[in-house]
Amino acid sequence: MARPSPSYTVALHPSVPASQKAVTTLVDTASSVGAIVNGIDVSDSDGDRLVTDGTAVLGLGDIGPEAAMPVMEGKEVLFKQFGGVDAWPVALDTKDPEEIISIVKAIAPAYGGIHLEDIAAPKCFDIEARLREELVIPVFHDDQHGTAIVTLAALINALKVVGKRIEDVRIVLSGVGAAGSAIARLLMSAGARDIVGYGRSGALDSARTEGMNEHRRWLAEHTNPQGATGALKEGLVGADVFIGVSSGNLLESEDLSVMAQDSIVFAVANPTPEVDPICAADYAAVVATGRSDFPNQMNNVLAFPGLFRGLLDAGITGISVELLRAAAEGIASVIPDEDVRPVYIIPGAFDTRVADAVAAAVRRLAPES
């Protein structure tokens, strides 16, 4: 396969609607940073509340609520531009999970939905779970489920390129925090049978769960069916898919040479991918990143505007795994099978078809009245 070039991005989508050019920078920035709770205005069913404590801003870490605000404001623009959803940021000057839950519950009656972002693991899991249980409006943590939706969408089309089935591939997952955990769960719901998660101490496996939080323990007990041990590089041997949601420059491109033929590499860490994407193409049939200057950008803006548009339109209050999977399939379906190719497995961030496709997929799951 020829090496991808940033020029492919321009060649695939030579024209960007003028109305969208103004938010180009915001798309890239908001996909990289932001701890948000989104509130959706129930007065017209078109409002969303963004909630953050600024503890896990992508690429920047714990920068606090004040520094996270510009990113949250950027995300407001993306909600409105792509989903027609009015959103307001709530940057909370507290890191205490109980306080965050209490504040969100107190403001929830004024909104149609809550969008959580960039709240550090593991507390993000419990905050989302509690809010989903105690509120009657949809609650969605973008760092978990937005990333998982886009990952599944990209994988659906990447597997078409290489002629493999999700049930048959072995997937190596680097990063087992909020994003990694949600990715593993969603891919398993879509049929994946062999996923091995890797953290700083190596492969997660059911024989070594002491000291793990309950979320990481669940992953260890429900993945890695062959009992792999050791470091990430060892785990790449024979793997069909590498998904990185961890940190930059973990791998040299040569490390990918031991993967299976026609391998797939998603190096999604921002701003620096886990492996150089240009060099990775020497070894992988399909390469994707989280960056806009390479082909196949895996950007959460493909998911959340259409998702909330569909939730609001249909009056859906619960977010199920089935709904997340439908959103991913909606994104993937935007590209006709005959157009899917190594440098075009995921629609561009400015593809105006995407939000409508996701919203329609979500609406189809509305309960019959």
Q: Is 105 a catalytic residue?
A: no
Strand order in the sheet with 286-289: 202-203, 194-199, 170-174, 241-244, 264-267, 286-289
CB 203 within 8 A of CB 176: no
- The kind and range of the H/E element at 170 are strand 170-174
Give the Å distances, CA to CA, from 153 to 82, 182, 347: 18, 14, 10
- The kind and range of the H/E element at 139 are strand 139-141
Give the Å distances, CA to CA, from 128 to 105, 115, 158, 193: 12, 10, 30, 26
Positive or negative, the CA dihedral 64, 65, 67, 70 is positive
Bridge partners (DSSP) listed for residue 267: 244, 289
> Using DSSP, how many helices (H) and how many strands (E) does the chain show?
14, 11
Q: Which of 75, 80, 105, 233 is catalytic?
A: 75
Catalytic residues: 75
